[in-house]
Structure 1
């Protein structure tokens, strides 16, 4: 393996939560607060990223790290109860995970495409494919445990 191909093997594609540019970040530097090469903003904010239909697929398909998704709606009581816990989980899961939220009222096409039958529902994506799903509200420690357990 050449030096450049070894470097590429150790780099991860990370989609910017601000401008959606795909960045190549050395895996060893994920925790070093990397910034986007296009917009110069932080690639990890420690908060869930709100994604609509137009941005969702790029984030799950182009990101080399797992993407944890909270499918929710503003009128849902359990969703509102879980929201602060989900934000706490985002602080602890990043940068090993991209943590996002999808409002099923605004992105009804995504709710239909992924057959979201109840909310809140957590779904974990890796390489563009759903690998795990969990309906129901959880606290931060259970969200973190569920996400990390499903990546083993």
Structure 2
């Protein structure tokens, strides 16, 4: 493993190089100086999706959801809890498919919520349907 990891800031979306051994020590962004890990999912849109998927050296778990979706609303607090448990080894992110229908379509999202795990810029696993915190964490860890 490379001793420096590229991490995209959840605030300003700048790419940072962080020594792997400092990953768990609360690194801050070199550009905006805010924490690189917040224990909360990053809200993605068309402008930031490719940057986070393609430039993070850690896996990125994306929750494809929509505000009108009941199961999506039910799963939202569990996804936040999973972020607190999986960071800094995994970045969690959310993409509103109602606001960004092109990205949902581009990634073949047929039902929501759908979780997609990306590593090295490519999707490596997908799971449709709402899950609880334990199930999200177990599912992600089973694919790493």
Give the TM-score range, shorter chain: over 0.9
Indicate yes or no: 2:67 matched with 1:68: no
**1:146 maps to which residue?**
139
Q: Which runs of 5+ in 2 are unaligned?
A: none
Alignment of 1:45-60 (within 5 A): 45-60=38-53
**1:131 maps to which residue?**
124
**2:90 maps to which residue?**
97
**1:81 maps to which residue?**
74
* Structure whose CA Rg is larger: 1
How far does residue 9 in structure 1 lie from its aligned partner after superposition?
2.5
The 1-side partners of 2:117 and 2:109 are apart by 13
Runs of 4+ in 1 over 4 A off after TM superposition: none
Alignment coverage as a number of residue pairs: 144
The 1-side partners of 2:119 and 2:95 are apart by 17
How far does residue 138 in structure 1 lie from its aligned partner after superposition?
0.2
TM-score by length of 1: 0.93
The 2-side partners of 1:19 and 1:26 are apart by 20
SS at match of 2:136: helix
- 1:56-109 Cα offsets, whole Å, 9 max, x none, are 000000000000000000000000000000000000000000100000001111
Q: Which runs of 5+ in 1 are unaligned?
A: 1-7
SS at match of 1:99: strand
**1:109 maps to which residue?**
102
SS at match of 2:57: coil
Structure with the bigger percentage of helix: 1
TM-score by length of 2: 0.99
